Amino acid sequence: MIDRQNKIIDMVNHPYIKKFLEENNLNNNCLNKKYYTFEESYDSLMKCNNCKGLYNCRQKEIGQITTLAYDGEVYNDLTYCKYYVEKLNKEKHINSFIRSDIPENYNDVYLNNIQIDDESISNLSLMLYDILDGINNKGLYIYGDLGVGKTYSCIALANSLVKKGEKVAFLKCNYFINEMRQLITSDNEEYEKVLDNIKKVKYLFLDDIGTEQVTSYSRDDLLFNILDYRMENRLCTIFTSNLSKESLLKHYTFDKYDNASTIKAKRLLERIDILSDNYVLQGANKRRG
**pLDDT tens, position by position, 237-288:** 999 999 999 999 999 998 777 777 889 999 999 999 999 999 999 877 766 5
Flag whether 108 is in a domain.
Answer: yes
- CATH number, domain of 146, equals 3.40.50.300
Shared domain check, 273 and 194? yes
Angle 256-203-108 from CA coordinates, rounded to 5°: 100
pLDDT of residue 207: 97
Query: pLDDT over 70 for what percent of the chain?
Result: 96
Shared domain check, 35 and 76? yes
DSSP state of 254: B
Shared domain check, 108 and 27? no
**pLDDT tens, position by position, 108-124:** 899 988 877 777 788 89
DSSP state of 48: T
- Count of structural domains within the chain: 2
**pLDDT tens, position by position, 6-33:** 888 889 899 999 999 999 999 888 888 8
Buried b (16+ CB within 10 A) or exposed e, 229-259: bbbeeebbbbbbbbbebeebbebbbebeeee
Print the domain residue range for 195: 97-280
Task: Single out the residue in 59, 84, 109 at which a domain terminates.
Answer: 84
Q: Is the pLDDT of residue 1 over 50?
A: no
- Provide the mean pLDDT of the chain: 89
Task: Single out the residue in 19, 49, 84 at which a domain terminates.
Answer: 84
Shared domain check, 209 and 187? yes
Task: Single out the residue in 34, 49, 84 at which a domain terminates.
Answer: 84
Shared domain check, 195 and 233? yes
pTM, 2 dp: 0.72
Q: Taking a C-beta distance cutoff of 8 angstroms, is the pair 223, 255 a contact? A: no
Flag whether 64 is in a domain.
Answer: yes
Handedness of CA 219, 220, 222, 227 (dihedral sign): positive
Flag whether 191 is in a domain.
Answer: yes
Shared domain check, 65 and 123? no
Shared domain check, 256 and 142? yes
Shared domain check, 28 and 147? no
Q: Taking a C-beta distance cutoff of 8 angstroms, is the pair 275, 230 a contact? A: yes
Orientation of helix 35-47 relative to helix 15-23, angle to 10°: 140
Buried b (16+ CB within 10 A) or exposed e, 20-48: bbeeeebeeebbeebeebbbebbebbeee
Flag whether 39 is in a domain.
Answer: yes
**pLDDT tens, position by position, 74-98:** 999 988 888 887 777 676 667 778 8
Flag whether 33 is in a domain.
Answer: yes
How long, in residues, is the chain?
289
Shared domain check, 238 and 166? yes
How far are the Cα atoms of 176, 201, 228, 256 from residue 191, in angstroms, in the given order? 12, 15, 18, 23
pLDDT of residue 286: 66
Query: pLDDT over 90 for what percent of the chain?
Result: 56
